[in-house]
Amino acid sequence: MLRFDSDRHVEDFLDPFRIDRPGKIRLADYDPGDTDSLSKDDKADADELLDRVVDWMAEQQPKLAAENRSALLLIFQGRDAAGKDSMIRKVMSGINPQGCHVTSFKHPSLEALDHDYMWRYHAAMPGNGEIGIFNRSYYEEVLIVRVHRHILDAQGLPEALVTENIWQERFEDINHFEHYLARNGVHVLKFFLNVSKEEQRKRFIERLEHPEKHWKFSQSDIDERAFWDDYTHAYEEAIGHTASKHAPWFVVPSDHKWFARLVVAAAVAGKLRAMDPAYPTVDGEQLKTLAKARSVLEQEKN
């Protein structure tokens, strides 16, 4: 049976996938098929461990809500068919929807285009006591917008601001923004679901072979494969320039969904353990009020 016997064990398990300081990275150094020496024979144990971690996280959420002093933001980025939707559905399955909000960012509306590019993301931030999940995020502004220049043109920026330095400037914006979030009690974890080109091909074929999955398929999925190397470069730049201690990236090997889910669950559980939410305690006057209320209720019974 796989076990996470201690915080140190969790940290050791996550260490190969965590990037928490800026620097040059190569996605070629991260194997999308990595399972940390585990095999398919370990999948049942991994699934059982995942269920226990999910149950534990469900126990922490009410404490986070009751404490109402901090928030957790989980950002999921990845290529098409990397498994973002199923990852969110599985790992966060035990979380009370009242305290958890999932936002999927599609093409910006006309209203969003009339504002700064971070506007719609800031508006979706979780409040105190909440868990926010971004299925894609403001990182799209240095990913798809970088790969497809016409999207940048549609943002209507003054020409003087669109220079060769724009991506570096946006990395600086994002770093400042995540510092701002940290200083306001919002903890940020960022996950890049790293799927191989071959595994993506297999998943697209599976979608085409099953009618109930046809709705997931779009011609743009095929068209975007032609920009695989461009996206690789954009992700390397984005991750390398925006990794930090307060908002780390995790490059999650995602060719095997069972293992990818274990990595993400371990990271989220580790962060919740570090946040250590607790139910508020009551003082002497409040205890007197509670005792009086109980007395009134007990007398009603008679």
Provide the pLDDT for residue 4: 67
Q: List pLDDT tens digits, range 245-290.
A: 999 999 999 999 999 999 999 999 999 999 999 999 988 888 889 8
Q: Where are the domains of the chain?
A: 7-301
Task: Give, in order, the Cα–Cα distances in Å from 273 to each of 248, 267, 298.
Answer: 16, 10, 38
Provide the pLDDT for residue 226: 96
Provide the pLDDT for residue 41: 85
CA distance 69 to 53: 23
Q: Which residues contact 232 (CB under 8 A, 6 or more apart)?
A: 27
Provide the pLDDT for residue 1: 46
The label of the residue with tokens 């909000």 reads 101
Q: Which residues contact 284 (CB under 8 A, 6 or more apart)?
A: none
How many other CB atoms are found less than 10 A from the CB of residue 282? 11
Provide the pLDDT for residue 245: 98
Cα 204–210–215 angle (5° rounding)?
Answer: 70
Per-residue pLDDT of the chain (302 residues; tens, 9 = 90+): 456 666 778 899 999 999 999 999 999 999 999 999 888 888 999 999 999 999 999 999 999 999 999 999 999 999 999 999 999 999 999 888 889 999 999 999 999 999 999 999 999 999 999 999 999 999 999 999 999 999 999 999 999 999 999 999 999 999 999 999 999 999 999 999 999 999 999 999 999 998 888 888 888 889 999 999 999 999 999 999 999 999 999 999 999 999 999 999 999 999 999 999 999 998 888 888 988 898 898 888 76
Look up residue 14 and give its amino acid: L
Provide the pLDDT for residue 167: 98
Task: Please give the backbone phi and psi of residue 201, each rounded to the nearest 5 degrees, phi first.
Answer: -55, -45
How many other CB atoms are found less than 10 A from the CB of residue 201? 13
* Tokens at 29, concatenated: 């150094």
CA distance 122 to 140: 14
CA distance 25 to 194: 14
Task: Please give the backbone phi and psi of residue 158, each rounded to the nearest 5 degrees, phi first.
Answer: -60, 140
CA distance 267 to 198: 27
Provide the pLDDT for residue 6: 67
The CATH number of 7-301 is which of 3.40.50.300, 3.40.190.10, 1.10.730.10, 3.90.245.10? 3.40.50.300
